[in-house]
Amino acid sequence: MKKILLFALVMLPMILQAQFSYDLQGHRGARGLMPENTIPAMIKALDLGVTTLELDLAVTKDGEIIVSHEPYMNPLICLTPEGKEILEGDRSHNIYKMTFEEVKQYDSGSRFHAGFPQQVKFHVTKPRLKDLFDVVEKYVANHDLPQPYYNIEIKSSPEGDGVYHPSPAEFSDMVYDLIDSSISWDRVNIQSFDFRVLKYYNQKYPDVTLAMLITDSRKSQEQLKELGFQPEIYSPYFVALTKDVVSDLKEKGMKVIPWTVNTTEQMQNLLDMGVDGIITDFPNLAPKK
Are the C-beta atoms of residues 165 and 156 closer than 8 Å to each other? Answer: yes
Tell me the per-residue pLDDT of 48-79, one tens digit each, with 9 for 90 and over: 999 999 999 999 999 999 999 999 999 999 99
Contacts (Cβ under 8 Å, ≥6 apart) of 82: none
Confidence of residue 230 (pLDDT cuts 50, 70, 90): very high
Res 14 pLDDT > 80: no
Res 5 pLDDT > 90: no
Give the containing element (helix H, strand E) for 154. Answer: strand 149-154
Longest C-alpha distance within the chain, in Å?
61
Tell me the per-residue pLDDT of 16-27, one tens digit each, with 9 for 90 and over: 555 799 999 999
What distance in Å separates the CA atoms of residue 32 and residue 116, rounded to the nearest whole number?
5
DSSP-based three-state secondary structure for 153: strand
The b/e string for 177-195 (b: 16+ C-beta within 10 A; e otherwise) is ebbeeebeeeebbbbbbbb
Are the C-beta atoms of residues 13 and 143 closer than 8 Å to each other? Answer: yes
- Nearest alpha carbon to residue 28 among 152, 143, 116: 152
DSSP-based three-state secondary structure for 129: helix
Res 140 pLDDT > 80: yes
